[in-house]
Amino acid sequence: MFNKKFLITSFCCFFLVSANAKELSLDELIDIALNNNTNIQITKNQKDVSEQKLRQAKALYLPQVTSVANTGEYDIKQNGIKQDGTVNSVTLSANQLIYDFGKTTSAIKASSYNVEASSNDVTSTVQEIVLAVKKAYFEILNKYQQIIVAKEAVKLDELQLSQAEEYFKAGIRTQIDITNAQLQLSNSNLKLIQAQYDLKRAKTNLISILGKNISEDLSVQVDKGNINSLAKNATLNYQDTNNLIGIALKNRAEIKKYDSLINANKQNLKNANYQYLPTIDVSASYNEQDSDDITSLDSNQTAVLLNLKWDIFTGFSRDANRKIALSNLSSSYKQKEQQELAIIEAVTNAHLNTKQSFETIKISLLSLDLATRNLDLAQQRYKAGLNDLLELNDAKLEYTQAKSNLVNTYYAHLVNSANLEYSLGIIK
């Protein structure tokens, strides 16, 4: 038995280690977040609450059955005669709503629309988490590429230091070239360390979004190929802003949510108006009372009643309820209007940002090409003794900055594209 438990425990530990060691794709990361993120769990719990409130509203159509049992000591004095003793009583009663002029029906409809609103809340939260995962994932890919750029800079500086030392031995260059090359190499190593820790922080951010305790050695699938090839394959899928706004207003869960809330508040207003009308129900009860000591209290009673209840005056509470319902309905319309404006702004900005980043990629590719050629020329001139190390360092700095800028621009474009998909309500 012990060996069996040990084997099971060992297998579970191996599985968890393997999961951490595996390179996770973007789709796998999204699945983990959707199953573990606390914000999603909270909105799902809120949806469950609204579903139970719907059950409560529907329960008003069903008969209400109550049973009461009690026992007590009685002491009765009547006409000079005293009687005391124990009395036991059992009562069973039932009540069934017949007609309430729409009160229950409107309450059920309002609860149904609230369930729809909660469902759209879940959808909205899911889309927010998907966007957050994509942003965090692209940030990690960005940091991976920045580490590649930093390592390349270190190699260039190591090569430059080696050349400076050889030229110094040959008497072509002075000691200051060696010192300068050492300084540049030190700075490049510092930037490499910064890039590596930036990657750790990016992973930590992703782990917090996933909602699962994964170690910092989390591995994700990185882009294959160099940044030049990736940037050249960047695409721009959407063009017309007006069409995009139409798609967003049709698909966004927030708009559907407010449509449901408007319908729910309409039903609440109807319910408030129906409170001025009567309620008809039928009730039945059976009561049995027994005492061995006081026989006069022994009884057996059955009743079936048709009841009409009409509240004549309720202290103006019905008027207050009606005004509350009107205010809530008006607020829902205004909230939907404000949400539509926010969506239009978000779609417009996301579209502009996507176009800007796409055009910036082209310029960044050109800048990197020019910086590469400039670095090559500077290296040749340095070898030929036609320039000093300062010109070569400037060329190398411009090259690494151009490459780093291309990395940032490319992944900014991916983030902007994800933002656009989210603003359209089609992110997944």
- pLDDT for 106-140, tens place per residue? 999 999 999 999 999 999 999 999 999 999 999 99
- Whether 6 shows a pLDDT value over 50: the answer reads no
Rounded distance, CA 72 to CA 74, Å? 6
387 or 31, greater pLDDT = 31
State residue 175's pLDDT score: 86
Candidates 305, 304, 301, 290; CA nearest to 69 is 290
407 or 2, greater pLDDT = 407
Using N-to-C axis directions, what is the helix angle for 389-424 and 241-251, rounded to 10°?
A: 50
Instruction: Identify the weakest region by mean pLDDT among 218-222, 407-411, 413-417.
Output: 218-222
Q: Computed from CA positions of residues 41, 46, 48, 49, in that sequence, does the dihedral angle turn out positive or negative?
A: positive
Instruction: Identify the weakest region by mean pLDDT among 226-230, 236-240, 325-329, 367-371.
Output: 236-240
CA distances from 398 to 220, 263, 378 (A): 30, 60, 11
pLDDT digits (tens, 9 = 90+) for 47-76: 999 999 999 999 999 999 999 998 877 777
E strands, 322-396, are none
Rounded distance, CA 114 to CA 50, Å? 6
- Strand arrangement of the beta sheet that strand 81-99 belongs to: 64-78, 81-99, 279-290, 299-309
Rounded distance, CA 364 to CA 346, Å? 26
pLDDT digits (tens, 9 = 90+) for 288-304: 887 767 776 778 889 99
- Whether 43 shows a pLDDT value over 50: the answer reads yes
State residue 128's pLDDT score: 95
Q: Which residue has the tokens 């900005």?
A: 349
CA distances from 25 to 15, 177, 209, 225 (A): 18, 46, 15, 16
157-169 burial, b at 16+ Cβ within 10 Å, e below that, comes to: beebbebbeebbe
Name the pTM for this structure. 0.85
pLDDT digits (tens, 9 = 90+) for 150-164: 999 999 989 888 888
DSSP state of 172: S
